[in-house]
Amino acid sequence: MNKKLKIGVVCYPTYGGSGVVATELGIALAKKGHHIHFISYKRPARLSIFSENIYLHEVTTVNYPLFEYLPYETSLASKMVEVVEREQLDILHVHYAIPHAAVAFMAKKILASRGKNIPVITTLHGTDITLVGKNAAFSPVVEFSINNSDGVTAVSEHLKKETQEKFGIKKEIKVIYNFIDFDRFRKVDKDHFKQAIAPNGEKIVAHVSNFRKVKRVDDVMRIFNEIYKSVPSRLLLIGDGPERNKLETFCTELECHEAVRFLGKQDAVEELLAISDLFLIPSENESFGLAALEAMACEVPVISSNVGGLPEVIQHGVNGFLENVGDIQAMAKHGINLLSNETLLDEFRVNAFKRANDFKLDEIVQQYEDYYCELINCGEKENTVEHSHLT
């Protein structure tokens, strides 16, 4: 692509997958010369670098006695309109359907009334469809917003299929997978760091999530407890969330409790993955499994549940293992076999890295660039047709 675009990126600023993907995509596009305007209520968690092509526009809400709940959606729509007009954006890319797609529709209509046509692309990430979106309080708006986006992408074939099954979707959904930045997520020599965590050469098992029930972090601990009985090992629990207090209490009941570390949210997740030997993700649902892919890029094999988009990333018996949700014994058995056999573990490490290479950042970013141009060109053609009718 020769043309450099002005792109509005609307996302949640949190550590969840949608915010991470939106931020990493924006950073990658900025490095290619595009001007990226993040629109969010605070700085996204992974937006830690300075770039002359990256701008942050924070959404502020008005605290007024009449409002029991602050009208964030209205403030967000106004901010979208303001940024599009002032910065002359070419396209709006909203991540996570609720409420961003609906708000973008409102902003688009306001802009159209002022003579500005801007394409809107909505990226579906998972729980905006599989969990929150199914709620009767949201589903009509989610369906309407998707159908009225100019372009729609999903992060896996599974999510695309689930969206089409659960909603009356007339709009074509394009699958663009999540991606890996190998400049960041890669195996590096961190022996001194690893020795501090596992001084006697113990194997390191890792898990990264937002500690919600759907992640089944208690299963992570049960699986590790079985592994610990057979293999000297340590468990790193990276992240935070609503289940953490309960999990810390549960941990004290397990034989392995002294080998478990709750590390909380970490910006440098890649440094912890780089010293890990095995990654566990026994989730009840995963639309893609970005955390698993990040581990594989660091040459860490993965044991996961066989749900959602995980089978699109993990190859059973090649770079990891897939088992039914809740099958702790089967997952633990695989873990013990891998960590007890260095030859097998090395083979799985190589295969994990090889598979991660199928999701290279540059290739995925190019797919988004091509889609942006397709939508912008379509919009320009529509405007040309409308003007020709007028004349």
pLDDT digits (tens, 9 = 90+) for 92-116: 999 988 889 999 999 999 999 999 9
Instruction: Tell me how far apart the alpha carbons of residues 24 and 296 are, in angstroms, rounded to a whole number.
Output: 18
- pLDDT band of 389, cuts 50, 70, 90: very low
Query: What is the per-residue pLDDT for 228?
Result: 97
Which has the closest alpha carbon to 52: 71, 29, 35?
A: 35
Separation of first and last alpha carbons in the chain: 33
Average pLDDT over residues 27-42: 94
Query: What is the per-residue pLDDT for 250?
Result: 96
Instruction: Tell me how far apart the alpha carbons of residues 331 and 337 are, in angstroms, rounded to a whole number.
Output: 10
Write down the CATH superfamily of domain 191-359: Glycogen Phosphorylase B; (3.40.50.2000)
Average pLDDT over residues 44-66: 81
Phi-psi category of residue 102: left, alpha or beta, with phi > 0 → left and psi -120 to 50 → alpha:
alpha
Portion of the chain with pLDDT greater than 90, in percent? 72
Query: What is the per-residue pLDDT for 108?
Result: 96
- Residue 280: exposed, middle, or buried by beta-carbon count in 10 A (0-12, 13-18, 19+)? buried
Per-residue pLDDT for 387 more than 60?
no
| pTM recorded for the entire structure | 0.86
Query: What is the per-residue pLDDT for 63?
Result: 74
Instruction: Tell me how far apart the alpha carbons of residues 55 and 288 are, in angstroms, rounded to a whole number.
Output: 28
CATH class name, domain 6-179+360-390: alpha beta
All CATH 3.40.50.2000 domain ranges of the chain, comma separated, are 6-179+360-390, 191-359
Top pLDDT among 267 and 283 is at: 283
Query: What is the per-residue pLDDT for 267?
Result: 80
Mean pLDDT of the chain: 90
Instruction: Tell me how far apart the alpha carbons of residues 215 and 335 are, in angstroms, rounded to a whole number.
Output: 18
pLDDT digits (tens, 9 = 90+) for 216-241: 999 999 999 999 999 999 999 999 99
